[in-house]
Amino acid sequence: MLTLDHVPDEVYAQVRPHFTEEELANLTLLIATINAWNRFGVSFRDVLGEYTPKKVAHIKE
């Protein structure tokens, strides 16, 4: 569920000593990407644990 506000200052203050500004930006992007993929999964009714990779033909170098 989305909030109508931002991350509380207390939460930001707790993580700031552990991450640089760039790391926080990357972490935020990672979380947003995972969220997007999860929404795709829900939209297409993916069943968790059902994916099995197919054998890949040997690639010649």
Would 21 be classed as within a structural domain? yes
What DSSP designation does 24 have?
A: H
In the chain, the number of structural domains is 1
Q: Is residue 15 included in any domain, yes or no?
A: yes
Cα separation, 32 vs 20, in Å, equals: 18
Q: What residues have CB less than 8 Å from 19, skipping those under 6 apart?
A: 27
Residue span of the structural domain in which 13 resides = 9-37
State how far the Cα of 32 lies from the Cα of 27, in Å rounded to an integer. Answer: 9
Place of tokens 């909030």: 3
Flag whether the pTM goes above 0.75.
Answer: no
Q: Determine, yes or no, domain membership for 47.
A: no
Residue 2 falls inside a structural domain? no
Per-position b or e across 25-37, b if 16+ CB within 10 A of its CB? eeeeeeeeeeeee
54 within some domain: no
pLDDT in tens, the chain (61 residues): 666 778 889 999 999 999 999 999 999 999 999 999 999 988 888 877 777 777 776 666 5
Residue 58 domain-assigned?
Answer: no
